[in-house]
Amino acid sequence: MRKVRIVTDSTAELSRETVERLHITLVPLNIHIGEESFRDVADMGPEQFYERLRGTDSLPYATAPPLHLFEEVYETLGDGTDDIVSIHASAKLSRTVELARQAASSLLGKRRIAVVDSLTTSLALRTLVIAASEASSQGARLNEVVRLVRAMLPHVYLVFFVETLEYLERGERIGKAEALLGTMLSIKPLLIVEDGEILPLEKVRTRSSGLDKLYEFITEFPHVEEIAILRGASVQTPVELMERLRQTFPDREIDVVTYGSVLATQVGPGAIGVFVYEGL
């Protein structure tokens, strides 16, 4: 029996080692800075992206992979399997899922392709993709992999403390008036990825208050399977948050991950966030 192949996109924050070890196929989004365009991860990693940002006043933005790239990926993977599960960033954050579905439809009858909207992004997407890949390696069939991922969706969480409002305004997450008022009053929003969207959760005025709220969010869960801290490249690891989490969850490994280029175009390069998976 041939294994189900797993496809995802570059928002999943997967390391090259993980992609190779689990035989995951990664489809890159495109990053645009001024007049230049790059394939996320493939042409420019997060370090180069953040370095490029320091030398420009242009706000970057991301676009979905082209349709033909999905078609090529699905065709190529078809040489080794007929079954593909393609898991991608929320359709409310990117057209990636839409284009993946179009490509899958064009191969109807030739391949069995299940395209799953993760309703999330970043480390939450990474956890879903890794779980799907591990299930596939243990012999799970297409429908079983899809059921597993869908069961996990309500149990992954991303919350961010954002220092600047300009990226949220550019992405139309908030209006110009709200951004101006927030800047004048030094209000910094706490954001949550919920039902596929980046939504305001609460407002704070100081970095310390923001870190307190992130800690409180995590500790409200009766059980936590995975925890990670996300930070932009221009932000130092929040040591105080890390120490509090280590004391509260001494049996959990707590990763610190510099989030990638696509997420940086949405929340800015200076945000701090937490990821939680409460388990099934």
Tens digits of residue pLDDT in 233-275: 878 888 999 999 999 999 999 999 999 999 988 888 888 999 9
Strands 25-27, 5-9: pairing kind: parallel
Which pLDDT score, from 0 to 100, does residue 55 have?
Answer: 78
Query: 52 or 183: which carries more pLDDT confidence?
Result: 52
- Mean pLDDT of all residues belonging to the chain: 87
> Amino acid identity, residue 228?
A
Which pLDDT score, from 0 to 100, does residue 62 have?
Answer: 92
Burial of 94 (0-12, 13-18, 19+ CB in 10 A): buried
The pLDDT confidence band at residue 180, using thresholds 50, 70 and 90, is very low
Find out whether 158 and 201 touch, Cβ atoms under 8 Å: no
pLDDT in tens, 145-163: 999 999 999 999 999 988 7
Q: For domain 5-153, is the CATH number 3.40.50.10170?
A: yes
pLDDT at 81 over 50: yes
Would you give the distance in Å from CA 171 to the centre of its chain? 16
The pLDDT confidence band at residue 45, using thresholds 50, 70 and 90, is confident
Alpha helix stretches (DSSP H) within 138-206? 142-152, 166-170, 176-184
Which pLDDT score, from 0 to 100, does residue 201 have?
Answer: 81
DSSP reduced 3-state for 23: coil
Which pLDDT score, from 0 to 100, does residue 174 have?
Answer: 41
Closest CA to 73 of 39, 48, 107, 30: 107
Question: Alpha-carbon distance 124 to 169, whole Å?
Answer: 24
What global pTM score does this model have?
0.91
Closest CA to 13 of 269, 226, 222, 263: 263
Question: Alpha-carbon distance 16 to 61, whole Å?
Answer: 23
Which pLDDT score, from 0 to 100, does residue 178 have?
Answer: 42
Q: Where are the domains of the chain?
A: 5-153, 156-277
The percent of residues above 70 in pLDDT, for the chain, comes to 90
Fold of 156-277: Hypothetical Protein Tm841; Chain: A;domain 3 (3.30.1180)
**DSSP string covering 57-112, please?**
-SPPEEEPPPHHHHHHHHHHHTTT-SEEEEEES-TTT-SHHHHHHHHHHHTBTTBE
